[in-house]
A = this chain, B = another copy of it.
Amino acid sequence: MRATDTLIHARWVVPVEPDNRILDYHSIAIDDGRISAVLPSAEARQSFQPRVNLELDDHCLIPGLINAHTHAAMTLLRGVADDLHLMDWLQNHIWPAEQKWTSEQFVHDGSQLAIAEMLRSGTTCFNDMYFFPEATAKIAASGTIRACVGLILVDFPTTYADSPDAYFTRGLALHDNYRNHPLVKCAFAPHAPYTVSDEPLRRVRMLADELDLPVHMHVHETASEISDSVMQTGQRPLQRLADLGLLSSALTAVHMTHLNDAEIRQLADSGASVVHCPESNLKLASGFCPVQTLIDAGINVALGTDGAASNNDLDMLGEMRTAALLGKAVAADASALPADVALRMATLNGARALGIADETGSLTVGKWADICAVDLGRIETQPLYDPVSQLVYAAGREQVSDVWVAGQHVLKSRELTHLDIKDLLQRARGWQTRISAGDSK
Contacts and interface: CB of A to CB of B under 8 A. Distances in A.
A120 to B, nearest CB: 7
Interface string A270-297: 0000000001011111111000000000
Contact of A382 (B82, B279, B425, B441): B425
Contact of A322 (B80, B117, B322): B322
A53 interface: no
Contact of A329 (B281, B308, B380): B281
Contacts of A116: 379
A348 to B, nearest CB: 19
Contacts of A285: 328-329, 331-334, 336
Contacts of A380: 117, 120, 313, 315, 397
Interface in A164-209: none
20 contacts: A78-B394, A79-B385, A83-B334, A83-B339, A89-B334, A113-B382, A116-B379, A117-B379, A120-B380, A282-B326, A282-B328, A283-B334, A284-B334, A312-B393, A312-B394, A382-B429, A385-B436, A385-B439, A385-B441, A396-B398
A386 to B, nearest CB: 6
A279 B326 CA distance: 9
Interface in A408-441: 421, 424-425, 428-429, 431-432, 435-436, 439, 441
A368 B164 CA distance: 62
Contacts of A308: 394
Given A312-B389, A326-B282, A431 B383 contact: yes
Contacts of A284: 328, 334
Nearest to A429: B383
Interface in A291-325: 308, 311-313, 315, 318, 322, 324-325
Interface residues on A, range: 35 or more
Interface of A: 75-76, 78-80, 82-86, 89, 113, 116-117, 120, 279, 281-288, 308, 311-313, 315, 318, 322, 324-326, 328-329, 331-336, 338-339, 377, 379-386, 389-390, 393-394, 396-398, 421, 424-425, 428-429, 431-432, 435-436, 439, 441
A394 B313 contact: yes
Nearest to A332: B285
A189 B199 CA distance: 65
A381 to B, nearest CB: 8
A335 B393 contact: no
Given A382-B428, A424-B379, A432-B385, A393 B328 contact: no
A335 B84 contact: yes
A428 B339 contact: no
A432 B82 CA distance: 42
A82 B329 contact: no
Contacts of A333: 85, 285
Contacts of A390: 78-79, 312
A19 to B, nearest CB: 17
